[in-house]
Amino acid sequence: QVDESKEVESIVPSYACQRRTTLENHNTVFTDALSLLAENAELSDEDGRGVAFRRAAAMLKALHSPVTDLLQLRGLPCLGGHSLRVIKDVLENGASSEVEFTKQSERFKALKVLTGIFGVGAKTAERWIREGIHSLQQLQDSAHTLNRAQQAGLEHYDDLNQPVTKAEGDAIGEIVAKAVMSVLPGAQITLIGGFRRGKLTGHDVDFLITHPEEGREVGLMPKVVSWLESKGFLLYQKTTRNSYLESKDGPARPSSNMDRFERCFSIFKLPEDEKQGTKQTETLTDTCSLTTPSLVKDEGSESTKRANLKPWRAVRVDLVVSPISQFAFALLGWTGSKLFERELRRWAGHEKAMSLSSHALYDNTQSKYLRASSEEEIFAHLGLEYIPPSERNA
């Protein structure tokens, strides 16, 4: 018999995109544990297990009070046997032995350190670990040639592993806006990703760029990148052109989860006084020339000894360009969270026989694309209650 007063929630829908998940979390002790196991699974190329832990954690994030007894979990969705054992362990012992064991393991620690390098994924880290490389020093001492992204990642390791604040995100937003307005007046810039969901910090800053006249956005990214480069704002960038039109498999059925927008993965050089919020535009270029190349070079590549003397900081920035006709889909697809997005696509496919991507929504029953010019319309097409960005923190 369940004590009604101890029941945390009577009905919790099973898809994360049916739930309102704010940043307020009453069950961090459990969700931290499950998230760590999810991360470990993802870093070990066990995506299925990773998703199972992520779904369990997301369900607990949506509860409005702390879980204090296993009985309260009866009837709640998304909890597999493994996740339940972890929760039980935490309830009974204050911590999960599996989580503690994982945290201490040399393998997990090495995976974290190596994938902390921008440009290094789980597969590369795994290969290096098998060769006995567990630290940045060992990597640098090894004969491995790093690609351009990894070199930049290693060089700016400390900066890139320090969370980006909302103030820094806003400062970068002003620089990006200035760049975009200089090369295409009338274009629109929207903050996406975690900051759009109201997060106070993030691992990067994400922007979506469009123009109200279809077609005017074509070729925009290289111009924006040139402007930023000419002003010294980019430490690294890799631009990928739009491959949407050339694709054969149809817009809503991409061969992978990656979309095909024109995009730029970059590392910004954010001057210190920019992020302080000093907004005299005249000083922009002056500030830039302050950071002389010699200072940059002197900074060195060992990321351990760091008296931070440089008057700037490296920040990961993602830029995406979308035509206005796909803007709502791009906005929804790039606002996250990653699990919320995954659940939206699963809902569309399994419950509605539709295919959702960051480009379009295809109805397989009617054999036609469903148009939308706002996120609200997309939720309506999917038969879902509208969930605002601040409640997509699954």
Q: Which residues belong to the annotated binding site for Mg(2+)?
A: 204, 206, 318
Residues in 249-268 that interact with ligand CTP by CB under 6 A: 258-259
Q: Which window, 103-111, 168-176, 296-304, 329-337, contacts ligand CTP (CB under 6 A)?
A: 329-337
295 within 8 A of 313, measured Cβ to Cβ: no
SS3 state of residue 206:
strand
C-alpha dihedral (135, 141, 146, 148), degrees to nearest 10: 90
Q: What's the token pair of residue 120? A: 């290094």
Q: What's the token pair of residue 1? A: 């018999």
Closest distance to ligand CTP from the beta carbon of 257 (Å): 7
Q: Does 202 bind ligand CTP (CB under 6 A)?
A: yes
Q: Does 318 bind Mn ion (CB under 5 A)?
A: yes
Q: Where are the alpha helices (DSSP H) in 231-281?
A: 272-275
What is the set of active-site residues? 204, 206, 318
Q: What's the token pair of residue 158? A: 């400390």
- Total residues in contact with ligand CTP, by rule CB under 6 A: 17
Q: Does 193 bind Mn ion (CB under 5 A)?
A: yes
Q: Does 64 bind Mn ion (CB under 5 A)?
A: yes
Q: Which is nearer to Mn ion, 193 or 254 (CB)?
A: 193
Closest distance to ligand CTP from the beta carbon of 323 (Å): 16
Q: Does 23 bind ligand CTP (CB under 6 A)?
A: no
Q: Does 259 bind Mn ion (CB under 5 A)?
A: no
Q: Which does 338 bind (CB under 5 to 8 A by kind): ligand CTP, Mn ion, none?
A: ligand CTP
Q: Which is nearer to ligand CTP, 121 or 212 (CB)?
A: 121
Q: Does 273 bind ligand CTP (CB under 6 A)?
A: no
Alpha carbons 65 and 348: distance in angstroms, whole number? 30
43 within 8 A of 19, measured Cβ to Cβ: no
Burial label for 52, CB within 10 Å (0-12, 13-18, 19+), is buried
Q: Which does 333 bind (CB under 5 to 8 A by kind): Mn ion, ligand CTP, none?
A: ligand CTP
Contact partners, residue 338, CB within 8 Å, separation at least 6: none
Closest distance to ligand CTP from the beta carbon of 232 (Å): 24
> 67-75: which pairs have CB atoms within 8 A and are 24 or more residues apart?
67/8, 67/27, 67/30, 67/91, 68/6, 69/6, 71/2, 71/3, 71/6, 72/2, 72/6, 72/7, 72/8, 74/2, 75/10
Question: Which residues of the shown chain bind Mn ion in the complex (CB under 5 A)?
Answer: 24, 64, 193-194, 202, 204, 206, 318
Question: Which residues of the shown chain bind ligand CTP in the complex (CB under 6 A)?
Answer: 193-194, 199, 202-204, 206, 258-259, 333-338, 341, 358
